[in-house]
Amino acid sequence: MFRKDIFLRFSATALALCAFSAHAAPLQATQYADFDRYVLALSWQTGFCQSMHDRDRNEPDECRLQKESQNKTDFLTVHGLWPSLPKSIASRGVDDRRWMRFGCATRPIPNMPEAKASRKCAAAETGLSFEAAAKLNSVMPGAGGESCLERYEYAKHGVCFGFDPDAYFGTMVRMNQEVKGSALGKFLANNYGKTVSRRDFDEAVAKSWGKASVKAVKLTCNNNPAYLTEMQISLNAATINAPLTAASFAPQPHPGNCGKQFVIDKVGY
């Protein structure tokens, strides 16, 4: 397990020098590779923390210690990368609902040890290199420390595919950076703390990757008035190792629950 208190001792320059290349190794499944899409889950971190507070849940360190940032796209963080149900597993009677609930622990296959959201640190260590862990730590606030989000995500969605951990998490880091640098990232930063319309949000997605990409984005909001907590982006598996383009996106059936207007939440309760 890697620890945040260790990484905080490094300056930004030192981290830049040791950071691994996001393009160093392609993401490839060595087993159960017959799936057609991934879901890239990105959190709006301030909204996630607000939702934990509103539901009276124990705030993790990354929320309790959250601070304002000059660069508002810093709050667009990595949650996970989830392969869809492989055909070889579906043929054994597994449906999408069971697959999304249990992932690599699904029976009869892959039938690996179950990772529980309430006990993330009980999951096995990922085997991430120090360089990859440092890079991931900068965009996944729940990684390492006492939250162990990366261990949970790899145990549930990665290990049964034989993904190289550096390639798996490096792909998330790369795509998170691409979204931050897009028109959508600029839209989120420019509307920090403001109420936006779903129409304007969708226009920013379309400006980034074309109109068809809008159908690939599912949004999750909490409370009333609603505030954004997460976006789930459906991506074609065949394009996962290429930069995001119009061809990367795969439509999904539900746009989420955010409604016509929602808040791009800011730090604080």
pLDDT band at 21 (very low <50, low <70, confident <90, very high): very low
pLDDT value at position 269? 87
The residue type of 50 is Q
d(CA 50, CA 217): 22
> What confidence tens digit (pLDDT) does each residue in 186-224 have?
999 999 999 999 999 999 999 999 999 999 999 999 999
pLDDT value at position 24? 58
Q: Which of 62, 150, 153, 178 is catalytic?
A: 153
Q: Which of 53, 59, 146, 157 is catalytic?
A: 157
CA-nearest of 235, 199, 225, 226 to 83 is 235
d(CA 78, CA 37): 18
pLDDT band at 111 (very low <50, low <70, confident <90, very high): very high
* pLDDT surpassing 90 at residue 119: yes
pLDDT value at position 6? 33
125 is known as an active-site residue: no
The residue type of 62 is E
pLDDT band at 144 (very low <50, low <70, confident <90, very high): confident
> What confidence tens digit (pLDDT) does each residue in 23-47 have?
458 999 999 999 999 999 999 999 9
Tell me the average pLDDT across 130-159: 96
Tell me the average pLDDT across 104-133: 96
CB atoms within 10 A of CB 21: 12
3-state secondary structure of 208: helix
Q: Are residues 168 and 25 in contact, defined by beta-carbon separation less than 8 angstroms?
A: no
Q: Are residues 1 and 125 in contact, defined by beta-carbon separation less than 8 angstroms?
A: yes
Residue 28 gets which letter from DSSP? -
pLDDT value at position 16? 38
Q: Which two tokens mark 52?
A: 């934990």
β-pair partners for 37: 236
Q: Which residues contact 14 (CB under 8 A, 6 or more apart)?
A: none
pTM for the whole thing?
0.91
> What confidence tens digit (pLDDT) does each residue in 162-195 have?
999 999 999 999 999 999 999 999 999 999 999 9
What is the pairing mode between strands 37-44 and 227-236?
antiparallel
Q: Which of 79, 150, 178, 230 is catalytic?
A: 79
79 is known as an active-site residue: yes
CB atoms within 10 A of CB 90: 15
pLDDT value at position 9? 32
